[in-house]
Amino acid sequence: MTRDEILKIVKEQNINFFRLQFVDINGTMKNVAIPRSQINKALDGQLMFDGSSIDGFARIQESDMYLKPDYDTFCILPWRNKDGIAAARIICDVYMADGSTPFEGCPRLNLQKSLAKAKEMGFTMNVGTEAEFFLFNLDEKGKPTTETHDTAGYFSLDPDDDGTNCRREIIETLEKMGFEIEASHHEVAEGQHEINFKYADALTCADNTVTFKWVVKTIARKYNLHATFMPKPVFGINGSGMHTNQSLFNLDGSNAFFDENDKLRLSEVAYQYIAGISKNARGFAAVTNPLVNSYKRLVPGYEAPVYVAWSCSNRSALLRIPASRGIGTRVEVRCPDPACNPYLAFAMMLNSGLDGVVNKLTPPKSVDINIFAMTAEEKETADIPSMPANLKEALDELKANPLAKETLGDHIYEKYCVIKEAEWDSFRTAVTDWELNAYLTTH
C-alpha cells in the first residue's frame, strides 16, 4: 500500500483517528493515538514519543524516538466506527532521535535483521501460528475470573452462547481487517478456543499475531468476557500453546524443505533446520516461553511438548512434521506459548534453524512413539533431553547459548535478561496461596 492510497482511504472512509502501534520487548502492544490533522506527519515518520517510558527501551537521556510506519499494515478498525466516524491503525518501526538510525531495541526491526540474514543465504521464512486462548467470565465488579463460560471440550458442537457468538464476531472482525481465517474450534479445556489464520511471511505473521491477540481481547470485552493468552491459567487442565509452523522458501518461490525423492519427502535443508532447532531449543525457551507461568504448561500429561525430539506424526515431540508436502512442507515447533513476543520468538527459531543449515547439522533419530509413556531410562538411552523446567533454568540456557545474544543484539539481550531475572526473583520470593494452604496450620 502507498501513502497516497492510505490518504485516499482516510478521506473516503472518514477516518478521524489514527493509531500508531508498536511492541515493547515483552511483546506488549503499545500505541500513540492521533487525530486526522496529524496523519500526514505520521505517515512521513515525523511523530516522536518518549522511549524512556517503555519497558526495556531507552534511557532517560535518550528518550526521544520516532515511529516509522509500515504502510502495508494500515487497516481500518471495524469496531471503532461511530456515527460515520472511523478509526485506523498502522504498525511502526522505532528509530532513534536522528530519525534515520534504527533503534536496536525494536523487536520488529530485530526480526527484519534476521530475515535479511536468511535472504543473504537464499531463503525467505513463512510462518503460521496457532494461538490458543481462554474466555473467562467477569465478576460483578468487571474483573476477570478463572470461571469458564462453557463446559465444552475439543471440537465440541458449540452451544449458542456468548462464547460462541464472541468467537464468531472475532472471526468477522479479523476478516474485515484482511485476515484469511482457515478454521476455528473449541479446544480441549473448558472455555478454551483456537482460531487459525493463513500463514504469511514471518514479518507479516508476527504483525498478524499481535493484532490477533488485540482483536480477541477487544471483542471479548463486548461480551463481558475476559480473553487471556496466559499459558496456564487453571491448574489441572490443558494450557494454551502457540504451535508455530515454519518453512524456508527459496527466492524463486519454491519450498526449500521439500524433496520428492526423499523417503519422508524432506530436503537436506529441512533435516538441517530440524537439527538446528533441536540443538538450540533449550537455549531459546526463555524467549518462546517467557513467563514463570509458561513452565506450568510445559509439564507431562497435558499434551504440551516437554521433550526435545522430532517426528512426522508424534504429537508428544517438540517438533512435528505435518503430513502436507510440496508447498505445504513445514516444521511445526510446538513449545512456544502465546505470551511470547512473536518478533523475537520467530527470530530465535529462524536463526536456530539456520544454525543447522550453515553448519550442516544432522538431526537426531526421529522418535515415533509416545514419549510421555517412556521411562526416564528409556529417554536417556534415546538421548531425548527435556525442555527447561522453569524460567530460571531457561534463562541460564539462554545465557549459555551464543546464538541468543547474536540474534537479539546487545540491547534486547541485556534488557530482556534483566526483565526476566526480576520476574523470576519476584516469583522466587513471593509467598503463594499453595504455601499458605500447605504449611500455615501444619508448621
Can 334 be counted among the known catalytic residues? yes
Bridge partner residues of 93 (DSSP): 68
Q: Single out the catalytic residue among 36, 80, 315, 411.
A: 315
What is the rounded distance in angstroms from the CA atom of residue 214 to the CA atom of residue 268?
38
243 is catalytic: yes
- The reply to whether 332 belongs to the active site is yes
Buried b (16+ CB within 10 A) or exposed e, 426-443: eeeeeeeeeeeeeeeeee
Task: Please state the separation of Cα 201 from the chain's center in Å.
Answer: 14
Instruction: Please tell me which residue in 24, 132, 207, 259 is annotated as part of the active site.
Output: 132
Q: Any catalytic annotation for residue 315?
A: yes
pTM comes to 0.94
Q: Quote the pLDDT of residue 316.
A: 81
Of 24, 93, 150, 194, which residue is the catalytic one? Answer: 194
Is 400:413 a contact under the CB 8 Å cutoff?
no
Q: What are phi and psi of 382, to 5 degrees?
A: -80, 0
Q: Which amino acid is at 127?
A: V
- 50 catalytic, yes or no? yes
Alpha-carbon separation of residue 257 from 124, 139, 359 (angstroms): 12, 49, 17
Which residue shows C-alpha cell 524433496?
Answer: 259
Is there a contact between 96 and 26 (Cβ–Cβ < 8 Å)?
Answer: no
Judge whether 180 counts as a catalytic residue: no
- The pLDDT score that the predictor gives to residue 153 is 61
Looking at residue 81, its pLDDT comes to 86
Concerning whether 132 is annotated as a catalytic residue, the answer is yes
For the chain, 443 residues long, the average pLDDT of each consecutive 10-residue run is 95 94 94 93 89 62 82 96 92 92 95 98 98 94 89 62 81 97 88 94 98 97 96 92 97 97 97 98 98 93 85 86 94 97 98 98 91 86 92 98 96 96 97 95 93
Which residue out of 130, 207, 355, 397 is catalytically annotated?
A: 130
Instruction: Using alpha carbons, select from 132, 340, 130, 136 the residue that is nearest to residue 221.
Output: 136
Q: Which one is catalytic: 167, 186, 243, 297?
A: 243
